[in-house]
Structure 1
Amino acid sequence: MAGDKDTLLGMGFDAVRVEWALKATGNRGLQPAMDHILEHEGQPVPDLESVNEKAGSSSAPMDVDEDDEDAEALKSLGVLKGNEVEAKSIKCSMCGKIFKNTALANFHAEKSGHDQFEESTEEIKPLTEEEKKQRLEELRTKMAEKRSKKAVEEAKEHKANEALRRKAGKDMNKIKEELKLKEAIKEAEAKKREKIEDAKAKAAIKAQIEADKKARAEKAAREKALRDGQPLPDSGASTSAPARPAAAAAAAASGVAGKDFKETRLQIRMSTGGQPYTTTLSSDAPLREVAEFLAGQLLTVDPETVTFAQHFPRKTFARSDFEKSLKELGLTPSAVLIATP
């Protein structure tokens, strides 16, 4: 059977599967071996030592008493026979196919599920070279179809896996973008809080400096009054408050409003409502210091974005006015400002 083995190997079949097929079919020819290879294509190759070779040829007379194995095989196939039967082949009563021996008939029964067989005196002739070539061509066609179908299925599976991979990649990118956006928002809020805290600290420091300066000035005035034997100056608000409007009115009447006042008293009202805030700043202080003072009082106020307006006379201060002094803006000696955060 070396010719059948070489033929199958030449067709590209694996050597181990060829050995399995030939042994499992009892070396009964090329066609049974090819059928076996196709039938068990997806199955693992068993240990060849455990594979039993099928029964031999049935061309000789089959006597039930002399060959118990063939008798049992025939009985399992549903073949009834006498004590002495001259048989050349076995025929499937259900489809009419003829087989050379019980091994091939058993193989057919396993594949088709047919279970009715009978002995036949018809002799099976060996395949001609032309028939062998035709069978080989049919086998190649079947194998090519199977490979093509398998390639199509693998391509579909690859496409589905690629779609899943891309979707997972898009979802991951979306999650990353959302996390990045959240981090940016947190960072912006942190910077804003830091800026407001800095403004508060600066306003507090400046207010302390102004308070210290005012305290030193009052102390110096008292010491001078004591040295000169003059009455001590009253630093209370009750005395200075009536004097300031009178002085402001006189200055306004003379056209030099704000020039003679070193300090400016401001009342700041929020456009959103709530209690007003008052402070006293140097008349030379820029409007920006008012914004920093207000930021020190309210967390919701950003000195970089807050705006100020005046009702009497009606005026809205631009960002360029924030670097001008209170004296230049005509806010001395006192004024009321409306702040919008």
Structure 2
Amino acid sequence: MSDKESLLSMGFDPARIDWALKATRSSGLQPAMDHLLANSEKPIPEAEDDEDEESVKASIKKIEGGVDDSELVAKSIKCSECGKIFRSTVSAELHAEKSGHDQFEESTEEIKPLTEEEKKAKLADLREKLAIKRAAQAKIDAKDNKANEALRRKAGQDTGKIKDDMQAKEMQKEAERKRREKLDDQRAKAAIKAQIEADKRERAEKAARDKAIREGGSSAAQTPPAPASVAKPAAGVSSSDNPQTRLQVRLSIGGQPITKAFPSDNTLIDVAEWVASENLNYNVDTVTFASTFPRKTYSRDEMKKTLKQNGLTPSAVLIAS
């Protein structure tokens, strides 16, 4: 809607509207309204046949090819820092981002359209720049891909090494477990074999003692010789009165059987202290003793009795646990 139509819609007189627009040189709606309100009581001047001075000047300038400043229109945007001219604000903003320039002004200079040759040359230049950029980006991508591939390979190698190390450790653990099982089997078999031999010796000793008692003082030559590991009773002294008691103690918590001769008046607590000093797996306050023939486990009260009182003189085999 033009300024005249807007004023007509407001109810102003058409003649006065024409007067206001002419007087304000059509400079806008607000100046025309101000003129109408300020001159509402004044008569409308008569139309002059001749043109006013300004109209004459404008006609002269048009004839001479000049243009009045009021008719100048901004046709481009100019960078005040480098002087480049741009068709639109978008192009100017792109230039500002690339160059860092921030001083721009409107310009009446018109950018001439490119000729066909100029368009082709510019298009070729743009394509060349694009090809250069793509080639540079391709090199960067190839370098990045190579680095990523190296990282992937190293990660794969590290993972494989970790798996190999874990498998090696598992194999070592399994080998160690089998070795321990084999040693435990060997110890168990050795303990069983020693137990069998001890039982044989005990039976032989008991048979010898029973025969000696039955024969009532037979000559020493008729008595079967005592095993080397059992102390021979002193001459003229009965087995139960022997001052020495030879004990073989078998350890249930690892270790080989240990043997020692004790005074017959020593207690099983003395034996427990000796066992604890020989093997750190045992504690004098918690160690217990048992015999296989006859089968018996000695109580804490019996631990305080002497070896003679417990019937272990002159020799015996005990199992410590």
TM-score (norm 2): 0.42
TM-score (norm 1): 0.40
Q: Who wins on radius of gyration, i.e. which is larger?
A: 2
